[in-house]
Chain A
Amino acid sequence: MTGAATAPFLSLAIFVPIAAGLAVLAVGRERDVAVARWIALVGAIAGFLVTVPLYAQFDTTASAMQFVERAEWIPRFDIHYHLGVDGISVLFVLLNSFVTVLVVWAGWEVITTRVSQYLAAFLIMSGLVNGVFAALDGVLFYMFFEAMLIPMYLIIGVWGGPNRVYAALKFFLYTLLGSLLMLVALIYLYNVSQSFAILDWYEVPLSFPVQVLLFVAFFLAFSVKVPMWPVHTWLPDAHVEAPTGGSVVLAAITLKIGAYGFVRFVLPILPDASRSLSGFVITLSLIAVVYIGFVALVQTDMKKLIAYSSISHMGFVTLGFFLFSQLGAEGALAQMISHGFVSAAMFLCVGVLYDRLHSRQIADYGGVVNTMPRFAAFLMLFAMANCGLPGTSGFVGEFLVILAAVKANFWIGFLAGTTLILGAAYTLWMYKRVVFGPVANAGVAALADIGPREFWLLAVVAAGVLAMGVYPKAFIDVMHVSVADLLTQVAKSKL
């Protein structure tokens, strides 16, 4: 199936949420927030529904781009409005549209200041992120990639915690540092190939020193976004200060953009540099997995703990990609999707607690199970998924990547495997301190269990976590051919 005969689903996936966001801004009033909320929810659901055909009509046997849309945009630089998805990117468009619904829903009663701006920022952000995953033109990609920073900056800065200004600025400048160098790299590639089409760049020959320089530029852009050790320090700050919805989007979606950049740009365009520098990337990934795992262990703030756990999990993703094997790459992609569900769920759970006690400190809780049994059950499931328990989505990716790592080199596999212990240690220890034991204080004693809105919100994510854990084939099949194609591309030499 090619996209020619069908509706422009990708454009819809980008512009339905943006249009909904603008509508929310236009009609939203501070006094009557219900209208804004309902428009936002309808817009988010509509945005998700238009992405469903992308999955339903996806041809899992084709490696070419599907649902392609191409129109002339800026002829002077041969820039096109060029969209398309393959088995790698299609899942992220779906994931992002799905998470947007969750985020709008999660902020329903929680956000009370400047509600329409809050909802609009998330909807516009969602459209831009879909654009990042669907763009097949370098400049189009860059535009979405950068424009995304604006709503995120506002989300952290306006609705965030006490130290929000610092966190928002740090987030913005860190990401900008990487992406600006990427801009130079994109222009350089245009110069060499006289085209801004990403797929044309897959074919253009590049000498080794040039590949290394371009690798550095792209690597900075994407490693900041992932984030990899040692450029990860913006993430804990941003996560901690962002409102719940912001943390969810950051963890579930924007981190994936960095990893996606490696797959879309670095590996296929710079195969020789990627191969010869893979040791470097693998080392950084293992440091993220092991060292950051230990860092997570000592956190006293729940959001910070989950933030470090995210970095550690994303280390698995970069590790999987740079092993250059079918298992590793598919494991990495599965890990990305799974982490989208699990980190979203974890942040939503912390949000539930924070809304009640206005504290993220582990020490302020204890014995939550006594007052919030239903919540404790959900958190248990998500905590288990975070440790990679078989049957949950977290298991699939970790298992595949460890398998691939052991095949490549026993010690890489061994170090990657430590995550099974570390992940369980920091997640379950936090769970124990927060949920079990006697009721710690009067605040916990007064906690009310989750209401229907929170229940269904968590139930939907839990369904996703379990579905992917029990039947990962539905996800893996989609990416299979595209991953194989990617690996042949990486194996080629462009010198």
Chain B
Amino acid sequence: MIDVAPALPEIVILTAASIILVVDLFVDDARRHMSYWLTQLALLVASCVTLKWLHLTGVKAFHNMIVDDMLADFLRIACFVTVSLTLFYSRTYLQARGLFRGETFVLVLFALLGMQIIITGNHFLTLYLGLELLSLSLYALVALQRDRRQAAEAAMKYFVLGALASGMLLYGLSMIYGATGSLDVDLVARALNGAQPNRTLLIFGLVFVVSGIAFKLGVVPYHMWVPDVYDGAPTALTLLIGSAPELAGFALALRLLSGALQGAAVDWQGMLIVLAVLSVVLGNLIAIAQTSIKRMLAYSAIANMGYMLMGFLTANRYGYAAAMFYTISYVLTTLASFGVVLLLTRAGFEADQIDDFRGLNQRSPWWAFMMLLVMFSLAGIPPTIGFYAKFMVFEAAVTEGFVWLAVVGVLASLYGAFYYLRIVKLMYFDDPVDTAPIAARGDARVLLSVNGLALLVLGILPQQLIGLCAIALTQSNFP
């Protein structure tokens, strides 16, 4: 009898997706919210199941194909919460644009399933399949608004470049298979520590694997798709793409580079340094020139993933914990940022230009304050969570002897602060051009406020989250 408990949350989500697919056929547009609430229910059930069968020490199942450790449980719950919030924030937006449909929810759940599979993957094929499930669902989601030109174009770009990245990753994995003779994460790790594998083949494979991961994280020079997709996709789906998949991207990097290829850390460290430096330097620089808030946040995402890699590339437990904390805090901040953008939208008005934030303080001091917290958190100014995120990655880098990397990081964040401050300037110093009242559902308002305040509260009291990240990695046996 196979123990299915490690995969129970995945089973829940898959079942829910299938049920919603069928149920949705029988509800009309007026009662479409049934599918919506079923989706939310599925996320709740999956979270409860994860908490009920919490695995403090790693359990492997399905012939070592998946692993359920504390890291997986933690990241899964983070994904459930993130996707749930995404849906809460997007509801009005989706309704106004005819995207409040069964397909949306089913695809979102499939994307989520893909993330979960990446998070629990303990085998190259599992990881690859999870990645493909995630990516294909996202391509379809972006294309859902098929009569809008930008969305179709974004979907096309996303698909072509994403497929290329998947191909590179797969190619790299096959080379590593050639060098080590296995696709199992544990066996690859053992092979690297044991007898000398074919070094040339391994490094070649590594280059492709790192490229594939970099594509998915959207770091320079594999970032080209990020601004176009962020800008072209409907804002609600931009939020979906920009939040939970970052957690999956982190898990993918961790499972592959640390779980399997820790033995080759010296080799991938150098590659990640290049990626990280380019991302923070260029991402922050190009963001300054943007006039669309979505493109600006896209370049901000590129820069932020660069900072995340600065922690990751130290290749030790503290660096991974810093990178994990960074990812979680970044996802939390992204949720709030696009949450406010979605709040300002209404039928026929996208609020996607930074000028749309003009005078927000006079229209609504509360939401201006929330956006202020977001901007200062992204800029890494205390007392917001973004400060501790940057603090931890710089600390990890300095401990590992990369003081220069930390200096590059802080200098980039200096000129990066400029474009975040510009949003604050528009909101507080200028007079509004748009005076329409801000209409949003009560649940979205409450959750977004909690989300925004969390940036501040966790910025003052981050010790629990820091501790949780450290314990999750230690318990999951990351070096």
Contact = CB atoms under 8 A, between A and B. Distances in A.
B424 interface: yes
Given A184-B403, A187-B395, A146 B381 contact: yes
Contacts of A158: 361, 428-429
Given A74-B466, A184-B406, A173 B414 contact: yes
A117 B429 CA distance: 13
B394 interface: yes
B470 A168 contact: no
Interface in A137-177: 139, 142-143, 146-147, 149-150, 153-154, 157-158, 164-165, 168-169, 172-173, 176-177
A146 B421 contact: no
Interface in A338-374: none
A168 B425 contact: yes
Contact of A184 (B381, B387, B394, B424): B394
Contacts of B417: 172-173, 176
B407 interface: yes
Nearest to B404: A184
B51 interface: no
A188 B414 CA distance: 19
B124 interface: no
17 contacts: A74-B462, A75-B467, A139-B391, A147-B383, A154-B428, A157-B425, A168-B429, A169-B418, A169-B421, A172-B421, A180-B411, A180-B413, A181-B410, A184-B394, A184-B398, A187-B398, A190-B395
Give the 10 A-B residue pairs with the shortest CB-CB distance, closest first.
A180-B410, A143-B382, A157-B429, A74-B463, A187-B398, A184-B406, A146-B382, A76-B466, A187-B395, A147-B383
B187 to A, nearest CB: 33
Nearest to A28: B365
A143 B418 contact: no
B381 A76 contact: no
Nearest to A116: B365
B399 interface: yes
Given A73-B463, A184-B394, A165 B410 contact: no
Contacts of A146: 381-382, 387
Nearest to A213: B403
A38 interface: no
B202 to A, nearest CB: 33
B398 A191 contact: yes
B423 to A, nearest CB: 12
Interface residues of B, number: 33
B376 A150 contact: yes
Nearest to A77: B395
B466 A184 contact: no
Contacts, number: 84
A176 B387 CA distance: 13
Classify chain A: how many residues form its interface, as a range: 20 to 34
B96 to A, nearest CB: 31
A463 to B, nearest CB: 36
Interface string A96-135: 0000000000000000001001000000000000000000
A212 to B, nearest CB: 14
B379 to A, nearest CB: 8
A76 B418 CA distance: 31
A359 B249 CA distance: 58
Nearest to A144: B382
A172 B415 CA distance: 11
A143 B456 CA distance: 12
A142 B365 contact: no
A183 interface: yes
B7 to A, nearest CB: 32
A176 B425 CA distance: 16
Contact of B381 (A150, A181, A188): A150
Contacts of A172: 417, 421
Interface string A220-264: 000000000000000000000000000000000000000000000
B414 A180 contact: yes
Given A76-B470, A168-B425, A184-B407, A173 B382 contact: no
A190 B421 CA distance: 30
B212 to A, nearest CB: 32
Nearest to B372: A150
A142 B415 CA distance: 19
Nearest to B422: A169
Contact of B387 (A77, A143, A188): A143
Contacts of A150: 372, 376, 381
Contacts of B470: 76
Given A114-B361, A168-B425, A184-B406, 9 more contacts: A77-B395, A142-B382, A154-B428, A173-B421, A176-B381, A184-B398, A188-B398, A188-B403, A190-B395
Nearest to B426: A165
A104 to B, nearest CB: 20
B463 A76 contact: yes
Contacts of B418: 169, 173
Contacts of A149: 381
Contacts of B376: 150
B231 to A, nearest CB: 26
Interface string B436-479: 00000000000000000000000000110011001000000000
A74 B381 CA distance: 18
Contacts of A153: 421, 424
B410 A76 contact: no
Contacts of A184: 394, 398, 403, 406-407, 410
A190 B381 CA distance: 20
A183 B414 CA distance: 12
**Most chain B beta-carbon neighbours within 10 Å: one of A146, A150, A153, A184:** A184
Contacts of B365: 117
B399 A191 contact: yes
A157 B428 contact: yes
A176 B428 CA distance: 20
Interface in A182-211: 183-184, 187-188, 190-191
Contact of B407 (A76, A157, A173, A181): A181
B374 to A, nearest CB: 13
B406 A75 contact: no
A165 B387 CA distance: 24
Contacts of B429: 157-158, 164-165, 168
Given A74-B463, A75-B463, A187-B395, A177 B414 contact: yes
A7 to B, nearest CB: 22
A149 B383 CA distance: 11
A79 B376 CA distance: 22
Nearest to A169: B421
